[in-house]
């Protein structure tokens, strides 16, 4: 089944949040309030991470609380996400600018993005770069 771009973005957002949670020392994660569809996705993806989950709150304040178990881990297939590769297309920036490639495939000058949403970050010395396999590639790189 092909996912819509908004569903893919939602799954990526949830995966990034859960990876960050698994890597942290926290044992509980209280998600922000969300609609029933988003809560269902959090519950479903949370089971892949071997987390327990329950919906809490009422009405517009209903959200998901996740808890680690002894088996909690980052699933192997979580990295089989979309790969952003723009081929031989060349992009331009001010020489010396730090460019950020985000988890949604967008890229631009670094503006204090949360690390959980950054695929790659690099200073582009000569002002020319490409996007290849979720990486920012510069002219001197072997895979230019």
pLDDT in tens, 61-104: 999 999 999 999 988 766 555 677 888 899 999 999 999 988 77
Q: What is the DSSP annotation of 68-112?
A: --TT----GGGG-S-----TT--EE--TTEEEEEETTS-EEE---
Q: Write down the pLDDT at residue 79.
A: 54
Domains of the chain: 5-79 (3.30.1370.50), 91-138 (no CATH)
Confidence of residue 128 (pLDDT cuts 50, 70, 90): very high
Q: What is the pTM of this model?
A: 0.55
Instruction: Give Cα 106 to chain centroid, integer Å.
Output: 12
């Amino acid at each position: 089944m092909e996912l819509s771009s908004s569903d893919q973005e939602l799954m990526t957002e949830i995966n990034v949040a859960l990876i960050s949670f698994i890597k942290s020392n926290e044992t509980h994660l209280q998600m922000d309030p969300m609609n029933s569809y988003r809560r269902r996705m959090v519950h479903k993806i949370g089971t892949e991470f071997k987390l327990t989950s329950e919906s809490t709150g009422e009405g517009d304040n209903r959200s998901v609380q996740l808890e680690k178990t002894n088996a909690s881990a980052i699933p192997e297939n979580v990295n089989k996400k979309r790969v952003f590769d723009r081929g031989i297309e060349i992009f331009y920036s001010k020489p010396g600018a730090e460019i950020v490639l985000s988890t949604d495939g967008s890229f631009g000058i670094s503006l204090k993005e949360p690390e959980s949403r950054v695929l790659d970050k690099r200073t582009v010395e000569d002002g020319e770069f490409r996007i290849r396999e979720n990486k920012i590639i510069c002219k001197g790189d072997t895979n230019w």
